[in-house]
Amino acid sequence: MKIVFKFILVSIFLTGLLHSQTPEWLLYRLGNTKVTAICEDNDANMWFADRRGNIYKLEGDLIIMYDSSSPGFTDVGRIWAITVDQLNNLWIASQEAGLIKFDGANWTYFDMLKIAPGSVANSAWEVEVDEKNTIWVGTYWAGLAKYDGQEWTIYDNTNSPMPPGQMEINVIHIDSNGNLWYGSDYEGAGRFDRINNWTILPWQAYVIYSIAVEKTGVAWFTFTRLRRLENDSTWTDYFNFYSPGFSTYAIAIDSNNVKWFAKERELNLYNQNGVMTYDDEELNELFPPFSEVLDSTVYVYSVYIDKNNNKWLGDNNGYVVKYTGENITDVKDDKQSIPDNYFLSQNYPNPFNPTTKIVYQIPALNFVTIKVYDVLGNKIITLVNEEQTAASYEVEYDASKLSSGVYFYQLNAGSFIETKKMILLK
């Protein structure tokens, strides 16, 4: 499969609370902190939460803010998730104040230390609502909590196959077939049919930030890259964005099966803020036309698709962008987009065993080499050694004859030289 990288850059200076530069883009200013969660209520109003514990309701073009000065709403600390039930109640997962319910007038607080005695703190890491209006909560080291409106049930390693390490649940996703997927902090993931059947999924030592599932049952996980799961056994890693402090924080799948995911700036050639899309053939990056969110220190943190297939992007600087368009892509044929920059991707998967792929692009005719070296600088192999026209390329490397360790690969095209590290782990 050939993956074509396309980058769309626009930069227009606008100020104010609400911008409408084109019919497809709107910008909202909430505050000056990370927008951690987004959801839509039954009246098509949008709700947002930030890391400082503030809640915002977007009703038409009016933004209503709830903070510690609001009647009945205390200082709740960091908020990691929000959702709305069938009765239009807002549910909030707070790291410092447990689970919170807001019915439009009253705030109700649920102490997770009392509900889940094994919890380390009064923390709710995640909250989701299923089709029966049952509330599901990810606890801090106490497993999965279920609330039917009357009684609480706790699933942990005493009454489920969930291993002890998986009981810090920071991700919950209920798919279209009614399965509940969960992800933990470094200890893996699982699926529960909400009756009796559990599937514990093998995992590597990475934090799982979000999960999205296609209608076909194919599941996508985000951490330092995208990971795709088929048939509970086949893992495929996509687009490794890893460098210290860089992650892909959120993913959502639209009605056209396009994956929209947030990431910090590692892949971005322009070192500005965009959102990535992947339609199973092409990886695209879209840039909102607002200078406020194109700063090099800004990145997309949360992604949400509403009932009308609009995309909502929350960043780490207090802005929310609404995008009403579709995935920007050309008609798919044998023609490639002509890039205007040199680019060398991080190999994926990484770590790998024994094969990995490297994507690169060149903007003009050049003699191109890609060579692999060991940590001492000794050349291991030359993967590419030829003249190439301007295009995006992919090369696969089979390192089955090498031992585990750190290696380096280098792209040399004209005056452009770039080297990246890869890890072989057998």
Q: Are 139 and 153 in contact (CB under 8 A)?
A: no
Residues of the chain with pLDDT under 50: 1-21, 242-245, 266-272, 329-337
C-alpha–C-alpha distance, residues 47 and 64, integer Å: 9
Q: Mapping DSSP to helix (H, G, I), strand (E, B) and coil, where does residue 267 land?
A: helix
Q: Which helix (H) or strand (E) holds 19?
A: strand 18-22
Mean pLDDT of the chain: 86
C-alpha–C-alpha distance, residues 109 and 154, integer Å: 18
CA distances 267 to 151, 239, 271, 391, Å, are 46, 9, 8, 17
pLDDT value for 203 = 79
Residue whose entry in the numeric block shows the structure tokens 């707070």: 94
Residues 6 or more apart in contact with residue 11 via CB below 8 angstroms: 272, 287, 289, 291, 294
Q: Do the domains at 4-323 and 343-424 have one common CATH topology? A: no
Distance of CA 178 to the CA centre of its chain: 22
pLDDT value for 265 = 55
Q: Mark out the alpha helices in 259-410 (DSSP H runs).
A: none
Residues 6 or more apart in contact with residue 293 via CB below 8 angstroms: 27, 273, 315, 317, 319, 321
What are 313-347's pLDDT values in tens digits?
Answer: 999 889 999 999 887 543 333 334 466 678 887 88
Residue-wise burial string across 203-235, b where 16 or more C-beta atoms lie within 10 A, e elsewhere: beebbbbbbbbeeeebbbbbbbbbbbbeeeeee
C-alpha–C-alpha distance, residues 421 and 358, integer Å: 11
Residue whose entry in the numeric block shows the structure tokens 């230390």: 113
Q: Which helix (H) or strand (E) holds 112?
A: helix 112-115
Structure tokens, 393? 């390329």
Which DSSP state fits 317?
A: T
What are 354-397's pLDDT values in tens digits?
Answer: 998 898 888 889 999 999 999 999 999 999 999 998 887 889 99
CA distances 418 to 83, 365, 408, 413, Å, are 44, 17, 10, 9
Tell me: domain 343-424, CATH 2.60.40.1930, correct? Answer: yes
pLDDT value for 91 = 98
C-alpha–C-alpha distance, residues 396 and 384, integer Å: 10
Residues 6 or more apart in contact with residue 101 via CB below 8 angstroms: 89, 90, 91, 92, 107, 108, 110
**Entry pTM:** 0.74
Q: What sign does the dihedral 292-294-296-297 (CA atoms) show?
A: positive
C-alpha–C-alpha distance, residues 53 and 71, integer Å: 15
Q: Where are the domains of the chain?
A: 4-323, 343-424
Distance of CA 239 to the CA centre of its chain: 12
Concatenate the DSSP letters of all residues of 154-168 into one string.
EESTTTSS--GGGGS
pLDDT value for 246 = 57
Q: Is the peptide bond before 354 cis (omega within 30 degrees of 0)?
A: yes
Topology of 4-323 in CATH? Methylamine Dehydrogenase; Chain H (2.130.10)
C-alpha–C-alpha distance, residues 218 and 227, integer Å: 11
Q: Are 312 and 320 in contact (CB under 8 A)?
A: yes
